[in-house]
């Protein structure tokens, strides 16, 4: 196996026809921007095609040219629909990609919701910046538009789990369930000889909603995520902590603002709201709002893809009716004028955009209120700043003071923790020749690398951004 330093790979470079290569175009040193370029001779495919989020120097990568022209990429294979894995696709197609995008059936249905919504939000944020004059760019432009996102959906080609299918050239792929969210997959790419597996975002075996991840038995090379590679989830029942936080806020006469990912986290929260009211832990008449039409659409898919999760029909129905759906912008603005105990669940999960920003502007300065984070906050995001104790955060060009109580419940995460990843790896029948640890911030990735080497005795590295490895 040969490693090359992080440098762009050009199409004029000569490649060995029979040796697979992988180049790490994202998810190195960060949990965002997942993109892996797999090359075999003249065939090039991307596994995942996500947006960078968080620190400005990461977000600027979304605007930079890829090291390979989109027109030279033959196909894309998606592990799942979250924007840090799929959100760059509209731009890829806009810039010349003409191949197929393979994903599970549920991932396709989610992308039909998420990608146009992402384009619409990008347009709205650019418009808001231009109207209020706080952008350094004149005019501010969206990375892509809702129309760009709608156009890219024509390139999707859904496939079933457990079926090996041709991708491009001599490369084939197969998907198995990863847990995490609806449609999430582990992906194995092979040329008939070498097998390169991607864990995607690995779900938890004890997730309250999602079925546990399938077990891979072998791979010649493995790319594994490390979001929680240096941590262990609190084993306390999250419903207890969630109920306690909400009730304490209600007793103060406050509002609970919950930034939540529209896919996965919002549905877990809705299910817990149902259970908390059913058990009497919180009042059955406490108003709960889901201020994300997209999240409402996603919730309905749980009835379609019952095999992906643990809920029965009655539980699905209860989850879908656990909150009042806020559809219009006018309804969203009206919530900010209310001064009564309530729970508002709104995207996005790391407070990087969307309607939750307007709620933070309205409620974050009141110490009676609570800002409740329910998952990982990537470095450089507003969520990370707030959790880290910032006195104020910048929203729409102005600083908003943070005087509300800030609570983070990490045990609601849909990612396996370090122990659970190691347990999943321990079931491989033979060790991979090399394991690549990605999709984690530096400490998390290196911690998981060290644990894999010490406990499993596997050959393991943390790749660098743009590094290329020859899988000989």
The DSSP line for 236-273 is: S-HHHHHHHHHHHHHHTT-EEEEE--TTTHHHHHHHHH
pLDDT tens, position by position, 351-382? 888 889 999 999 999 999 999 998 888 888 99
pLDDT over 50 (residue 174): yes
For the CA atoms of the chain, what is the radius of gyration? 22
Cα–Cα dist 289/291, whole Å: 6
Average pLDDT over all residues of the chain: 93
2-231+414-471 has which CATH code? Answer: 3.60.15.10
Confidence of residue 133 (pLDDT cuts 50, 70, 90): confident
Confidence of residue 12 (pLDDT cuts 50, 70, 90): very low
pLDDT over 50 (residue 298): yes
Q: What is the pLDDT of residue 130?
A: 82
Helix (H) or strand (E) holding 343: strand 342-346
In the chain, CATH 3.60.15.10 sits at 2-231+414-471
Between these two residues, 125 and 19, which has the higher pLDDT value? 19
**Considering Cα of 143, then 148, then 149, then 155, what sign does the dihedral take?**
negative
For the domain with range 238-412, which CATH number is right: 3.40.50.300, 3.40.50.10890, 1.10.8.60, 3.40.50.720? 3.40.50.10890
End-to-end CA distance of the chain: 5
pLDDT over 70 (residue 5): no
Looking at residue 454, the DSSP 8-state letter turns out to be I
pLDDT over 60 (residue 223): yes
Give the least confident one: 73-77, 172-176, 347-351, 355-359. Answer: 347-351
Average pLDDT over residues 192-221: 96
pLDDT over 90 (residue 405): yes
Q: What is the pLDDT of residue 11?
A: 40
Query: Which strands form 35-40's sheet, in the order they lie side by side?
Result: 2-4, 468-471, 20-24, 35-40, 43-49, 75-77, 100-104, 156-159
Confidence of residue 407 (pLDDT cuts 50, 70, 90): very high
- CA atoms within 13 Å, Cβ hemisphere of 418: 18
Task: Calculate what percentage of the chain has a pLDDT beyond 70.
Answer: 96
Cβ-based burial of 17 (10 A; exposed 0-12, middle 13-18, buried ≥19): exposed
In the chain, CATH 3.40.50.10890 sits at 238-412
Confidence of residue 14 (pLDDT cuts 50, 70, 90): very low
* 104 neighbors 175 (Cβ within 8 angstroms): yes
Q: What is the pLDDT of residue 293?
A: 79
Contacts of 1 (CB under 8 A, 6+ apart): 433, 434, 469, 470, 471, 472
């Amino acid at each position: 196996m040969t490693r090359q330093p992080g440098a762009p790979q050009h199409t004029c470079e000569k490649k060995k026809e029979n040796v697979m290569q992988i180049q790490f175009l994202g998810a190195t040193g960060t949990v965002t921007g997942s993109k892996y370029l797999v090359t075999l001779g003249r065939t090039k495919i991307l596994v995942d095609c996500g947006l960078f989020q968080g620190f400005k120097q990461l977000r600027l990568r979304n605007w930079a040219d890829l090291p390979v022209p989109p027109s030279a990429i033959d196909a894309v294979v998606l592990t799942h629909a979250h924007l840090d894995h799929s959100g760059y696709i509209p731009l890829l197609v806009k810039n010349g990609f003409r191949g197929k995008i393979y994903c599970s059936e549920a991932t396709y249905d989610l992308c039909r919701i998420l990608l146009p919504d992402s384009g619409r939000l990008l347009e709205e944020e650019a418009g808001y910046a231009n109207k209020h004059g706080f952008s350094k760019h004149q005019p501010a432009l969206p990375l892509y538009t809702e129309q760009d996102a709608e156009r890219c959906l024509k390139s999707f080609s859904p496939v079933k789990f457990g079926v090996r299918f041709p991708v491009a050239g001599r490369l084939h792929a197969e998907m198995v369930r990863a847990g995490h969210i609806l449609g999430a997959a582990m992906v194995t790419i092979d040329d008939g000889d070498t097998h390169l597996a991607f864990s995607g975002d690995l779900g938890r075996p004890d997730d309250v909603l999602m079925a546990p991840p399938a077990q891979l038995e072998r791979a010649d090379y493995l790319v594994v995520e490390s979001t929680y590679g240096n941590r262990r989830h609190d084993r306390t029942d999250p419903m207890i902590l969630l109920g306690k936080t909400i009730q304490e806020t209600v007793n103060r006469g406050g509002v609970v603002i919950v930034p939540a990912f529209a896919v996965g986290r919002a549905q877990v929260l809705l299910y817990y709201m149902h259970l908390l009211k059913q058990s009497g832990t919180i009042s059955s008449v406490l108003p709960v709002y889901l201020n994300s039409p997209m999240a409402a659409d996603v919730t309905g898919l749980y009835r379609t893809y019952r095999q992906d999760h643990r809920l029965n029909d009655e539980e699905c129905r209860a989850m879908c009716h656990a909150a009042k759906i806020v559809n219009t912008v006018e309804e969203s603005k009206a919530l900010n004028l209310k001064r009564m105990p309530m729970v508002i669940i709104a995207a996005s999960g790391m407070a990087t955009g969307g309607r939750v920003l307007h709620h933070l502007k309205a409620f974050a300065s009141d110490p009676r209120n609570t800002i409740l984070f329910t998952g990982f906050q990537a470095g450089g995001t507003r969520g990370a700043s707030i959790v880290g104790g910032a006195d104020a955060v910048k929203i729409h060009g102005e600083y908003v003071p943070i005087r509300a109580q800030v609570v983070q419940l990490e045990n609601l995460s849909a990612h396996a923790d370090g122990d659970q990843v190691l347990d999943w790896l321990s079931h491989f029948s033979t060790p991979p020749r090399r394991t690549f640890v990605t999709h984690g911030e530096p400490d998390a990735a290196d911690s998981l690398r060290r644990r894999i080497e010490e406990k499993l005795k596997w050959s393991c590295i943390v790749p660098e951004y743009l590094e290329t490895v020859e899988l000989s």
